[in-house]
């Protein structure tokens, strides 16, 4: 803003009462200030010409609204300044350029005319002398002067002439007008200062505006200084970096980034990259070339390129399709499991005829310890493929499958892509362990993310969030393991080819122990055949008297326990052959842990052995019923689920409807309370397959007929007495065999499942396929 000097008005200057009026905007003229104006409006030009033809004086009035081009009299302030026109220049476009000097404050009383220019009757105004203490006024004046100098030192365009005049100014009102005209203030603030006749208040207002302006200037200077410092530092760093490049170039070193880029380009030449992946890598390489090697972004790009170039794009291991070799290998590694071996050989057979066959998604379901995970390793060896295993137990974050966005700190690809990178080929055998134990929370549902991975129609273009480009998973052979399918989503289960692994029979456990477990544990404990020997009867005793499980883990632990005790004796100097026999088995394993259930030794009233299926195999589950005097209440205990409670009530209703047939007094139901109890009350129980078991126990209790010992049964019961099929028959029969039960009753509709039970187990059992509850009573009751 241009500085405006102050001049002294002539003392004997006479000011007419009626003067032409010029409306101004964005500017306020103060008394004793010289100011240049441009006048372009017709009324303004006419007013200036009238002033020049008369006393060369006019009134300068500010506009209330600065956006109005043609103001009315109501759009102008009442308070203005009488000014003398010192000089006038006509411009080519018709505008006038005038130089005016403020003379006095004035107030417009009324306008005498509107056309061709405004003319007004005015009243001259004088400053009111302050009533405050002179010291206070002097202090305020000094503060205004120092603030003005401070603003000039901070870059405010205030001329030295104005600073000299302000320092020499002794009148408070004149000082306020001088400062107000030389600092940038809004038109409304400028008009407020013009309106104020009280000198002290006027100077106070100017001081507040000036203080605020100085604070803004100081903040601006600070920001500029910081920006300047940052710029200087950047320039210094750039200069030093350029020097370092020159020095390293002279030494023949220091071009690591370009070397890395060249290495990446060499790597991608050897990879069969899809077009999307190649374009993304080239894009990141171009970004890396244009970045400083010291930025964090360069490190993120380098990590991303490492993952992209280390993935086995287009690399496949050759399948071994010889059926005899694969069968021989599978038989060597695993005993039994004929269904799974048959499925793998079928896959190899079709692969020979159709190499483009889509790889199946197998799911091994069975109790713990039956060899699901180790079977996956054997399949990989039989096929000649790499084996990758990841455990999904407890997984809750969807990003573990799909990966994190690469913009996040510490981002990585998902476990699927990490496993492919670890395998080094596009077609490994990929085992996803414990899929039934996947969880879900606010971070998403990992099993939903697996839907795309396990669908052969979709996984050919699987998109990991970190990679950001499609990746073909259709050549990988996915094998899943689970203890149960109950927790899996229907859409997830639909993509799987389920193969069930049942419990092992006694003979199977003995064979696996002789062929695999004993050689493995003796070798791991530093023993051999010359130091320890197990016989088949000993292993049978260990299996029957120390373990009761569907799998083999506890059996392997017991064999390891025997080997540890023998290893200690050998280490103490007793190096000889230790034969493990039935007579000395207790020296190594302690007393027998498992005995035949006493409830299976004699006939009892109201006690029946039922067969149940759990995720860890089959179990023998007893039902106990007693009758006592009461009012016909039915009491159920044993932590039962809703379905099992309904089965018990249904069995009670069935017996009541057939009371006359079995010679039961109907008063018994109204004068007695019936208590049905399932032992092992801490274990939750549910399911409909205990229906015929409860009905048999009820009839035995109410008729006082004993139930045959060593009889177990399973089957769902209807209200009409029909026996419906159940699941898990093989597991239940194996549990009955372990408990030395001799007779098994099961639904007639499950006869096809009976054929899946091993021949040696069926030979040792007497079985009855029943279709009606009366058949059950006929066999079970004495």
Would you put residue 360 in left (φ > 0), alpha (ψ -120 to 50) or beta?
Answer: beta
Asked if residue 28 lies in contact with residue 187, where contact means CB atoms within 8 angstroms, the answer is: yes
Superfamily of domain 18-125: LON domain-like (2.30.130.40)
Whether 732 is catalytic is yes
692-745 tens-digit pLDDT: 999 999 999 999 988 988 899 999 999 999 999 988 888 888 888 877 788 899
φ/ψ of 63, rounded to 5, equals -85, 145
Asked if residue 405 lies in contact with residue 411, where contact means CB atoms within 8 angstroms, the answer is: yes
pLDDT higher for 686 or 705?
705
684 confidence band (pLDDT: 50, 70, 90): confident
User: Residue holding tokens 């399932």?
Assistant: 678
162-166, 326-330, 592-596, 607-611: the lowest-pLDDT one:
592-596
What is the predicted pLDDT for the residue at 249? 66
What is the predicted pLDDT for the residue at 6? 42
What's the Rg (C-alpha) of the chain?
A: 51
682 confidence band (pLDDT: 50, 70, 90): low
Share the mean pLDDT of the chain: 84
Q: Hey, is 176 helix, strand or coil?
A: helix
Spell out the CATH class of 323-499: alpha beta
Long-range Cβ contacts of 344-348 (<8 Å, 24+ apart): 344/379, 344/382, 344/383, 348/319, 348/321, 348/323, 348/383
pLDDT at 690 over 70: yes
Quote the tokens at residue 107.
């107030």
Which helix (H) or strand (E) segment holds residue 109: the answer is strand 96-113
Range(s) within the chain of domains with CATH label 1.10.8.60:
506-589
What is the rounded CA–CA span in Å between residue 193 and residue 30?
9
What is the predicted pLDDT for the residue at 540? 84
What is the predicted pLDDT for the residue at 404? 85
> Any bridge partners for residue 716, and if so which?
724
Enter the DSSP assignment of 475.
T
Work out the average pLDDT over 3-17: 58
pLDDT at 616 over 80: no
238-247, 257-266, 433-442, 491-500: the lowest-pLDDT one:
238-247
60-70 tens-digit pLDDT: 999 988 888 88
What is the predicted pLDDT for the residue at 675? 93
Enumerate the known binding-site residues for ATP: 366-373
pLDDT at 596 over 70: no
Which helix (H) or strand (E) segment holds residue 123: the answer is strand 118-125
Range(s) within the chain of domains with CATH label 3.30.230.10:
598-780
Please give the CATH number for the structural domain made up of 598-780.
3.30.230.10
350-361 tens-digit pLDDT: 888 887 777 888
Range(s) within the chain of domains with CATH label 1.20.58.1480:
142-219
Pick among 3.40.718.10, 1.20.58.1480, 3.20.20.70, 1.10.630.10: CATH of 142-219: 1.20.58.1480
Enter the DSSP assignment of 674.
E
What is the rounded CA–CA span in Å between residue 172 and residue 158?
19
pLDDT at 522 over 80: yes
pLDDT higher for 234 or 31?
31
301-352 tens-digit pLDDT: 888 888 888 888 888 888 887 888 888 878 887 777 777 888 888 888 888 8
Whether 672 is catalytic is no
Asked if residue 605 lies in contact with residue 709, where contact means CB atoms within 8 angstroms, the answer is: no
What is the rounded CA–CA span in Å between residue 697 and residue 700?
5
440-482 tens-digit pLDDT: 766 667 777 788 888 877 888 888 888 888 888 888 888 888 8
pLDDT at 294 over 80: no
> Any bridge partners for residue 140, and if so which?
none
Q: How many other C-beta atoms can be found within 10 angstroms of the C-beta atom of residue 270?
A: 11
What is the rounded CA–CA span in Å between residue 284 and residue 66?
54
Spell out the CATH class of 506-589: mainly alpha
What is the predicted pLDDT for the residue at 412? 87
pLDDT at 12 over 70: no
Tally of CA atoms within 13 A in the half-sphere of 359 that contains its CB: 22
58 confidence band (pLDDT: 50, 70, 90): very high
Q: Which one of 689, 700, 730, 737 is the catalytic residue?
A: 689
What is the predicted pLDDT for the residue at 716? 92
Q: Hey, is 430 helix, strand or coil?
A: strand
What is the predicted pLDDT for the residue at 10? 43
Work out the average pLDDT over 230-253: 70
Range(s) within the chain of domains with CATH label 2.30.130.40:
18-125
pLDDT at 274 over 70: yes
% of the chain at pLDDT higher than 70: 94
pLDDT at 57 over 90: yes
pLDDT at 231 over 90: no
């Amino acid at each position: 803003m241009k500085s405006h000097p102050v001049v002294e008005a002539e003392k004997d200057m006479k000011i007419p009462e009626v003067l032409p009026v010029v409306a101004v905007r964005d500017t306020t003229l103060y008394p004793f200030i010289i100011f240049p104006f441009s006048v372009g409006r017709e009324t303004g030009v006419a007013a200036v010409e009238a002033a020049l033809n008369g006393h060369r004086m006019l009134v300068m009035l500010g506009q209330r609204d600065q956006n109005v081009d043609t103001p009315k009299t109501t759009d102008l302030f009442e308070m203005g300044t009488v000014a003398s026109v010192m000089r006038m220049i006509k411009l080519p476009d018709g505008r006038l350029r005038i130089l005016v000097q403020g003379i006095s404050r004035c107030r417009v009383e009324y306008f005498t005319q509107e056309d061709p220019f405004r003319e007004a009757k005015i009243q001259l105004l004088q400053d009111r002398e302050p009533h405050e203490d002179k010291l206070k006024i002097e202090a305020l004046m000094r503060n205004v002067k120092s603030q003005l100098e401070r603003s000039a030192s901070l870059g405010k365009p205030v001329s030295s002439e104005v600073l000299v005049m302000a320092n020499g100014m002794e009148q408070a009102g004149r000082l306020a007008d001088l400062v107000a005209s030389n600092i940038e203030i809004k038109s409304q603030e400028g008009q407020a200062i013009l309106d104020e006749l009280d000198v002290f208040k006027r100077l106070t207002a100017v001081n507040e505006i000036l203080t605020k302006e100085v604070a803004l200037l100081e903040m601006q200077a600070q920001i500029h200084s910081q920006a300047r410092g940052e710029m200087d530092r950047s320039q210094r760093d750039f200069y030093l970096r350029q020097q370092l490049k020159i020095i390293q170039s002279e030494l023949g070193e220091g071009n690591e980034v370009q070397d890395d880029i060249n290495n990446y380009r060499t790597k991608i030449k050897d990879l069969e990259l899809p077009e999307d992946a190649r374009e993304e890598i080239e894009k990141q390489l171009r970004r890396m070339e244009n970045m400083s090697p010291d930025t964090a972004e360069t490190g993120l790009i380098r990590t991303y390129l490492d993952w992209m170039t280390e993935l086995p794009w287009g690399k496949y291991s050759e399948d071994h399709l010889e059926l005899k070799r694969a069968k021989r290998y599978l038989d060597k590694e695993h005993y039994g499991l004929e269904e799974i071996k048959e499925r793998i050989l079928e896959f190899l057979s079709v692969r020979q005829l159709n190499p483009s066959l889509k790889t199946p998604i197998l799911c091994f379901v069975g109790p713990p310890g039956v060899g699901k995970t180790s079977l996956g390793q054997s399949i990989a060896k039989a096929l000649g493929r790499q084996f990758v295993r990841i455990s999904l137990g407890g997984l809750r974050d969807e990003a573990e499958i799909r990966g994190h966005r690469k913009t996040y700190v510490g981002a990585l690809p998902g476990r699927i892509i990490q496993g492919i990178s670890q395998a080094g080929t596009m077609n490994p055998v990929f085992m996803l362990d414990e899929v039934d134990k996947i969880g879900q929370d606010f971070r998403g549902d990992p099993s939903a993310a697996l839907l795309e991975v396990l669908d052969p129609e979709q996984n050919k273009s699987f998109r990991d969030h970190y990679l950001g480009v499609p990746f073909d998973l259709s050549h990988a052979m996915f094998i899943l393991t689970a203890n149960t399918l109950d927790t899996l989503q229907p859409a997830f289960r639909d993509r799987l080819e389920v193969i069930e692994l049942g419990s092992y029979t006694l003979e199977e456990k003995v064979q696996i122990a002789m062929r695999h477990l004993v050689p493995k544990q003796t070798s791991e404990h530093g023993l051999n055949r010359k130091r320890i020997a197990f016989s088949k009867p000993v292993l049978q005793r260990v299996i029957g008297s120390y373990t009761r499980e569907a799998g083999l883990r506890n059996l392997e632990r017991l064999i390891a326990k025997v080997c540890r005790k023998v290893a200690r004796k050998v280490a103490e100097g007793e190096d000889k052959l230790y034969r493990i026999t039935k007579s000395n088995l207790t020296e190594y394993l302690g007393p027998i842990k498992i005995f035949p259930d006493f409830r299976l030794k004699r006939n009892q009233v109201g006690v029946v052995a039922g067969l149940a299926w759990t995720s860890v195999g089959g179990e023998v589950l007893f039902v106990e019923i007693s009758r006592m005097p009461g009012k016909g209440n039915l009491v159920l205990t044993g932590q039962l689920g809703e379905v099992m409670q309904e089965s018990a009530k249904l069995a009670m209703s069935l017996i009541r409807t057939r009371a006359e047939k079995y010679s039961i007094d109907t008063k018994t139901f109204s004068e007695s309370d019936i208590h049905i109890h399932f032992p092992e009350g801490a274990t939750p129980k549910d399911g409909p397959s205990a229906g015929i078991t409860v009905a048999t126990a009820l009839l035995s209790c109410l008729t006082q007929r004993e139930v045959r010992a060593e009889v177990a049964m399973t089957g769902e019961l209807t209200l009409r007495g029909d026996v419906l099929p159940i699941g898990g028959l093989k597991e239940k029969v194996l549990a009955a065999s372990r408990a030395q039960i001799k007779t098994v009753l099961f639904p007639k509709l499950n006869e096809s499942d009976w054929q899946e039970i091993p021949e040696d187990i069926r030979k040792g059992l007497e079985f009855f396929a029943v279709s009606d509850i009366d058949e059950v009573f006929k066999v079970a009751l004495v």
